[in-house]
Amino acid sequence: NAGVTQTPKFRVLKTGQSMTLLCAQDMNHEYMYWYRQDPGMGLRLIHYSVGEGTTAKGEVPDGYNVSRLKKQNFLLGLESAAPSQTSVYFCASSYSGSATEQYFGPGTRLTVT
């Protein structure tokens, strides 16, 4: 099992450009999450999904969109990147939403200039 994988690992964007971050999991998990991690702050939830075809907003959803067309994939889109979106993005998945742990991917480091 590869677990949770993320592509790309690194990316540099110019302000106004768009991009999509891909997250894939091979554990047949129902729940998937996108977080961002900034220096001096805890991970913050951007969007999450409780199953194929569903998405919901987290704590900091503005400027991001997501899609869950397939159970194993969760895409995070930035339509018009801003320097404030410079961050490390982590995808996670879990079997259910209650007590089960979340499994995290290795992260994507995004810089917006």
Partner 1 sequence: KNQVEQSPQSLIILEGKNCTLQCNYTVSPFSNLRWYKQDTGRGPVSLTIMTFSENTKSNGRYTATLDADTKQSSLHITASQLSDSASYICVVRLTGANNLFFGTGTRLTVIP
**Which residues here bind partner 1, judged by CB under 8 A?**
4, 31, 40-45, 48, 50, 56, 59, 90, 92, 97-99, 101-107
Query: Which CB, 23 or 75, lies closer to partner 1?
Result: 23
d(CA 52, CA 18): 24
Query: Which CB, 18 or 100, lies closer to partner 1?
Result: 100
Q: Could you tell me the smallest distance in angstroms from the CB atom of residue 29 to partner 1?
A: 13
Rounded alpha-carbon distances, angstroms, from residue 83 to 10, 30, 34? 15, 32, 19
Query: Which CB, 14 or 62, lies closer to partner 1?
Result: 62
Rounded alpha-carbon distances, angstroms, from residue 3 to 24, 40, 102, 106, 107? 8, 27, 11, 10, 13
